Chain A
Amino acid sequence: QQQVKQSPQSLIVQKGGISIINCAYENTAFDYFPWYQQFPGKGPALLIAIRPDVSEKKEGRFTISFNKSAKQFSLHIMDSQPGDSATYFCAADSGGSNYKLTFGKGTLLTVNP
């Protein structure tokens, strides 16, 4: 049973455009929702994270939108740049310990110049 479903699998965006990646979860005990960015040959790096007590969090060009009732959250990358080309993973965790992240399958983002 896949507890965090991520879409799309791949995404191509023009430079300056908006990239949107969506995730849906099933476990209502999840209370921490991070997004990770992974470049080839590297480990995942935390990009931005949100807790369910807020509906939106923005850090620079990156915004998480969170819909608790729908059990969905999304990552928006504004003014997408070629350097943003990477694989993005949404994840979720419960219990406040952040040691057992459940990841989505990832979205390969390509930003064309």
Chain B
Amino acid sequence: DTGVSQNPRHKITKRGQNVTFRCDPISEHNRLYWYRQTLGQGPEFLTYFQNEAQLEKSRLLSDRFSAERPKGSFSTLEIQRTEQGDSAMYLCASSLPGAANTEAFFGQGTRLTVV
């Protein structure tokens, strides 16, 4: 499978616990994005990497959230001290470098439920 891979697919955690999600982008895609999608809404941009550099963070990404892409390949999104409002689908996407408006390919997402 050469698509964007996200793990785990589902995560249930107790409020206050830390969780970490992983995203493996399509090979050779140097751009990687994280989005959050709540029920009945469209995805909302969280953050963007070009190679290992995190170039932009949304104000939706509070201090409890941190994303890394240490070697410019896979990325992790960590949420510390989870709250019930963090329950959502976390989507990762990747795209090729270069040309404007290149297609972003999304993974299947990690569904987080905070109880």
Contact = CB atoms under 8 A, between A and B. Distances in A.
A105 B106 CA distance: 17
Contacts of B56: 99-100
A91 B42 contact: yes
7 contacts: A6-B42, A43-B91, A43-B106, A43-B109, A44-B91, A91-B42, A100-B45
Q: Interface size bucket, A side?
A: 20 to 34
Contacts, number: 69
Interface of A: 4, 6, 31-32, 34, 36, 41-46, 49, 51, 89, 91, 93, 96-106
Contacts of B43: 44, 89, 101, 103
A100 B103 contact: no
A102 B108 CA distance: 19
Contacts of A36: 106
Contact of A51 (B101, B103, B108): B101
A89 B41 CA distance: 9
A96 B40 contact: no
B43 to A, nearest CB: 5
B25 to A, nearest CB: 12
A107 B106 CA distance: 19
A59 B55 CA distance: 34
B104 A98 contact: yes
Contacts of B95: 98-99
